Amino acid sequence: MSDQGEEAASAQWGPPYLLYLGSANDDLAIKTARGLAYWRPHWCLGQHRRDDCAVTLDLPDMDIVRAKAAGASTMVIGVANAGGVMNDAMIADAIAALDAGLHVVSGLHQKLRDQPEIVEAARRNGRALFDARAPRPGIPVGTGARRLGRRLLTVGTDCSVGKMYTALALEQSLRRRGLPADFRATGQTGILIAGAGIPVDAVIADFISGAAESISPARADDGWDLIEGQGSLFHPSYAGVSLGLLHGSQPDALVLCHEPTRRHMRGLRDYPIPELMACMEANLAAARLTNPAVKPVGIALNTSRLPAQEAIATCERVSALFGLPCLDPVTMGVESIADNLVACFAD
């Protein structure tokens, strides 16, 4: 396709979605699909699973042809794996979706646009491809210059502990109060939910803080940008992305996200999860480079692996330790964190 043709096609993709789970074998492997199903359920028509898939979103199982007949417009490759690569089966399924008349969207590091067979299938069927992990051109180097507006960044003890869910829940809470608030996506799932953003883990290292500045520009409406954090300062693989976001976001407020049952960093058994207080202090210290006045306003726990009473007790214990509200955003909401945020920054 020409650049003009690609732009025209990209304007066409969108819901209803068929969420592609492929051969995923655990819940973390389908976090992109799960995020869309949770935050945009009205967009999600069904799921497509291969025979060896071990997980489900409890959506109707559909083959690609049936999904198209039922009204699906786009197949979203909703899986995440180490390295973000497409195997032969995934490539074949993407081509089948295009041949059935669906657009195809992916959040993997390996791009749809770099697979000649997929590009050819999109061309011959007049369908669109969208790579959510392709940063837009022209991202500047960060400057650290102060800008108008208020910003909250979610940070974490590890990857995949609820940073996106917390930021989205806070956006909803603030908007219900009549306050201007916008979720700012920095990962592939958030971008598909929000419809915009920058995948910071695909940005060249020198430009990560500039990317964070770009997605959260100056605002003069006394509102909040809720910025989706990535990785963890304590994760040897992804700490660089976390640090760049802390500097570029210039956050006024931090919410620390944590999964209390996790014992080691995702994918790295030799690295234990950091102690909560040490993690908060490290994030505050890093954030103070560009905003010395940054404040912690809450703790968000993913208690999905705990019994209900133990989850409540854990939140109460962490709240007492920090002197801050502590909640599970999914099962308990974020109202007391939002209350504290508003109170801490009341004029």
pLDDT in tens, 106-118: 989 899 999 999 9
Q: Which of 69, 97, 131 is the last residue of a domain?
A: 131
The partner residues of 76 in beta bridges, in order of sequence, read: 19, 105
| Band of residue 80 on the pLDDT scale cut at 50, 70, 90 | confident
Cβ 345 vs Cβ 252: under 8 Å: yes
Is a pLDDT exceeding 90 seen at residue 196? no
User: Which of 151, 142, 138, 86 lies closest to 116, judged by CA?
Assistant: 86
Q: Judge whether residue 82 has pLDDT over 70.
A: no
What residue numbers bound the domain in which 318 lies? 150-344
Residues of the chain with pLDDT > 70, as a percent, come to: 96
Q: What single DSSP character describes residue 203?
A: S
229 CA to centre of own chain = 8
Q: Which of 254-258, 267-271, 299-303 has the lowest mean pLDDT?
A: 267-271
Q: Is the pLDDT of residue 238 over 80?
A: yes
Do residues 330 and 304 lie in contact, with contact meaning Cβ atoms separated by under 8 Å?
Answer: yes
Can you give the pLDDT at residue 3? 37
Residue 15's pLDDT band, with cuts at 50, 70 and 90, is very high
- Going by C-alpha positions, the residue among 13, 1, 56 that lies closest to residue 191 is 13
Residue 145 maps to a domain: no
What is the domain-level CATH number for residue 207? 3.40.50.300
Q: Which of 131, 164, 180 is the last residue of a domain?
A: 131
- Give me the chain's average pLDDT, please: 93
* pLDDT > 90 fraction of the chain, expressed in percent and rounded: 85
- Where does the pLDDT of residue 83 fall: very low under 50, low under 70, confident under 90, or very high at 90 and above? low
The tokens for 124 are: 């011959």
Same domain (yes/no): 326, 203: yes
- Residue among 140, 69, 55, 78 at smallest CA distance from 102: 69
| pLDDT tens, position by position, 141-188 | 999 999 999 999 999 999 989 999 999 999 999 999 999 999 999 998
Per-residue model confidence (pLDDT) at position 27 = 84
pLDDT of residue 13: 84
Q: Is the pLDDT of residue 42 over 50?
A: yes
Q: Are residues 178 and 112 in the same domain?
A: no
CATH number where 118 lies? 3.40.50.720
Question: Between 1 and 188, where is the model more confident?
Answer: 188
Residue matched to tokens 């599970």 = 328
Structure tokens that stand for 42 in this block: 């009205």
269 lies in a domain?
Answer: yes
Same domain, 192 and 80: no
Answer yes or no: do 250 and 316 share one domain. Answer: yes
β-strands 74-77, 17-22 pairing = parallel
In a domain, 243, yes or no: yes
Yes or no: say if 151 and 252 are a contact pair by the CB < 8 Å rule.
yes
- Residue 9 has a pLDDT of 41
Give the residue-averaged pLDDT of 8-29. 81
- Residue 217 belongs to a domain: yes
Count CB-CB contacts under 10 A for residue 241.
26
With the CA atoms of 42, 44, 46 and 47 taken in that order, what torsion angle do they form, in degrees rounded to the nearest 10? -150
Total domain count, the chain:
2
Average the pLDDT over 255-267 and give the result. Answer: 95
- Would residue 230 count as lying in a domain? yes
Q: Do both 103 and 20 map to the same domain?
A: yes
Identify whether the C-beta of residue 67 lies closer than 8 Å to the C-beta of residue 102. yes
Closest listed residue to residue 49, CA positions, set 30, 68, 31, 36: 30
Q: Is residue 27 part of a domain?
A: yes
10 and 37 in contact (C-beta within 8 Å)? no
Query: CA separation (Å) from 124 to 20, 93, 189, 341?
Result: 22, 16, 28, 52
Check whether residue 12 and residue 105 sit in a common domain.
yes
The DSSP element (H or E) to which 124 belongs, if any, is helix 116-125
Residue 53 pLDDT greater than 70, yes or no = yes
Residue 121 maps to a domain: yes
Residue 75 and residue 190 in one domain: no
> Mind listing the pLDDT tens digit for each residue in 305-335?
999 999 999 999 999 999 999 999 999 999 9
Decide the pairing of beta strands 44-49 and 103-106. unpaired
pLDDT-based confidence at residue 6 (cuts at 50, 70, 90): very low
Q: Is the pTM of this model over 0.85?
A: yes
Boundary-marking domain end, from 76, 102, 131: 131
Looking at the fold, whether 91 and 219 belong to one and the same domain comes out as no
Closest CA to 211 of 242, 179, 175, 249: 249
